[in-house]
A and B are shown apart, each in its own frame.
Chain A
Amino acid sequence: MMRDNRIRRLPMVLSALVALGLAVLPLPTVLEPLRPDFLVLVVFYWCVESPRAGGLGLAFVSGLALDLVQGVVLGQHALALTLMGAWATHLRLRIRVFSVLTQCLTIFALLTGYQFVLFWVDGATGNPVTAFSRWLSPFIGALLWPALVNAFGNVRGR
């Protein structure tokens, strides 16, 4: 059992590291607000795919890593990612049987919820970011979701 868990965790950690790299990859200033939350999508994927391998722990640790690389108040992304990761885990059986479109809509809702928690903590800690462009990344993230799931399926299928 223990060994089984470890085998399942390696791709989890690797994919999270790659996603963290994508989160800090320099982009032109114009494109920057459009950057999808790769790490959040990866965490959602693992919450749906294998919730028993510790998706929520991954969510919390990934959130802390995001707090550190983005230089915001410690715990902000951790809180948002924990809450939305738990919601994704709760919905996982339904997400599995949804059509692609419904899956995308669900992920869009989760990503928007994630942004909302970030927005709320920003405001509560006295650094409100009211730019409208922060609400664009959930759109792009939701559009990427099917591609991400397929990519993971292909890599793991080999």
Chain B
Amino acid sequence: MVAFRNTDTSGRTTGLLLRCVLYSLLALGLIIVDKRYDHLGRIRRLLSVAVYPVQVAVASPFDGWNWFRDSVTTRDALRAEKTKLEAQLRVAQFRLQRYEALEAEIQRLRALRDSTEGITDRFVIGDVMDVDLDAFRARVLVDKGAGDGVYVGQTVLDSGGVFGQVARVGELSSEVILISDAAHAIPVQVNRTGLRTIAVGTGDMSRLKLPYLPTSADVIAGDLLVTSGLGGGFPAGYPVGTVAEVKRDPAQSLADVDVKPAAALDRSKELMFVWLKPQTAEALPKPAAPKPSAPKQAATKQ
């Protein structure tokens, strides 16, 4: 039998309607101020410190379990993992050999065409906390916040590619919105052809889509998509995903393109926050002054 213990059943609670109206107006006011004006950022950051202990308390048993699992792994397993990591490191180092030279070359080339596409400056690694946010939005909580210099709109990567961007910053933690969130879009470029478009999230962590490509667009399954750097939000050239399927319905004017994200959106535990190098004119290596006009002169001579 479902029974309540309190026997205080006297008629009215004083001023229920009044209190309800007051609290509701307060809540409505908060919604409007938070949505329309940006004044609540600081208050929100302070308040989020208040709920942070709850999130840490919930995440800690999972952290503890991971620690325990790590500490009881056998020597053989560790050796096997070490061998694997060494092999990966060798490959990575091999690929890195020419990186510095290539980066310098890219800087020079970009300076030639006065491009201001961001170049990454430094990384900070953050851990995804084991807590769930809203079930209907693809977001994760990461244990780096304003104290570490994280800012809203910052690009977040994992080892595979672009993971998302910072949606909200707290004092000690920040929320990252995944590229697969239904409300998220990222400017991309087909690596093979240079075709630029926008990849939109679907709400499904294993799928993005390209809704703005005409049926005649040159895109095939297997094409790599990289960030185009347009709009200034994301640095250019990071992998976003590969085209999984292209459906062309002749009756439609737009193709239906599915993309598989390059980042492990549902599995990554470690994320990289990226800071872009400030691209001021004096920071760039100056191209020789007469060079840009040279081709023009050649053209007029002909």
A-B contact count (CB 8 A): 145
Closest partner residue, chain A, to B3 (CB atom): A153
A residues 123-158 with Cβ under 8 Å of B? 124-125, 127, 129, 131, 133-134, 145-146, 149-150, 153, 156-157
Instruction: Provide the residues of chain B in CB contact with A100, threshold 8 Å.
Output: 1-2
CB–CB B20/A56 < 8 A = yes
Interface residues of A in 63-98 (CB under 8 A from B): 63-65, 68-76, 78-79, 82-83, 86, 89-90, 93, 96
Closest B residue by C-beta to A129 = B136
Contact status A75-B133, CB under 8 Å: no
Any chain B CB within 8 A of the CB of A109? no
B34 at the interface (CB under 8 A from A): yes
* Contact flags A53-67 to B (C-beta < 8 A → 1, else 0): 000110110011100
Contact yes or no, B8 A69, CB < 8 A: no
Q: Which chain B positions have C-beta within 8 A of A70?
A: 133-134
The verdict on B23 contacting chain A, using a C-beta distance below 8 Å, is yes
A82 touches B132 (CB 8 A): no
CA distance A17 to B80 in the complex (A): 43
Interface-lining segment among B47-55, B90-98, B185-193, B213-221: B47-55
Least Cβ distance of B276 to chain A in Å? 24
CB atoms of A82 and B57 under 8 A apart: no
Residues of A within 8 A of B29 (CB): 75
Question: Which of chain A's residues have a CB closer than 8 A to the CB of B67?
Answer: none
- A26 contacts B134, CB within 8 Å? no
A21 touches B31 (CB 8 A): no
Interface 1/0s, chain A 34-48, versus B by CB < 8 A? 010000000000001
CB-CB under 8 A for A146 and B2, given A27-B132, A71-B139, A78-B30: yes
Q: Note all chain B residues with C-beta closer than 8 A to A90.
A: 16
Asked if B57 and A93 make an inter-chain contact with CB atoms under 8 angstroms apart, the answer reads: no
Report if B131 contacts A (CB, 8 A). yes
In the docked arrangement, what's the CA distance between A146 and B2, Å? Answer: 6
Give the Cβ gap from B210 to chain A, nearest Cβ, in Å: 22
Interface residues of B (CB under 8 A from A): 1-6, 8-9, 11, 13, 16-17, 19-20, 23-24, 26-31, 34-35, 40, 44, 47-48, 50-51, 54-55, 57-59, 62, 130-137, 139, 141, 167-168, 175, 183, 203, 205, 266
> Could you pull out 18 A-B pairs where Cβ atoms are within 8 angstroms?
A20-B54, A24-B55, A49-B5, A56-B20, A60-B26, A65-B51, A65-B54, A71-B141, A71-B167, A74-B44, A75-B27, A75-B29, A78-B23, A78-B27, A83-B20, A86-B17, A96-B4, A133-B136
Chain A residues in the interface with B (C-beta under 8 A): 17, 20-21, 23-27, 29, 32-33, 35, 48-52, 56-57, 59-60, 63-65, 68-76, 78-79, 82-83, 86, 89-90, 93, 96, 100, 103, 121, 124-125, 127, 129, 131, 133-134, 145-146, 149-150, 153, 156-157
Ranked 4 nearest A-B pairs via Cβ: A75-B30, A79-B27, A86-B20, A75-B31
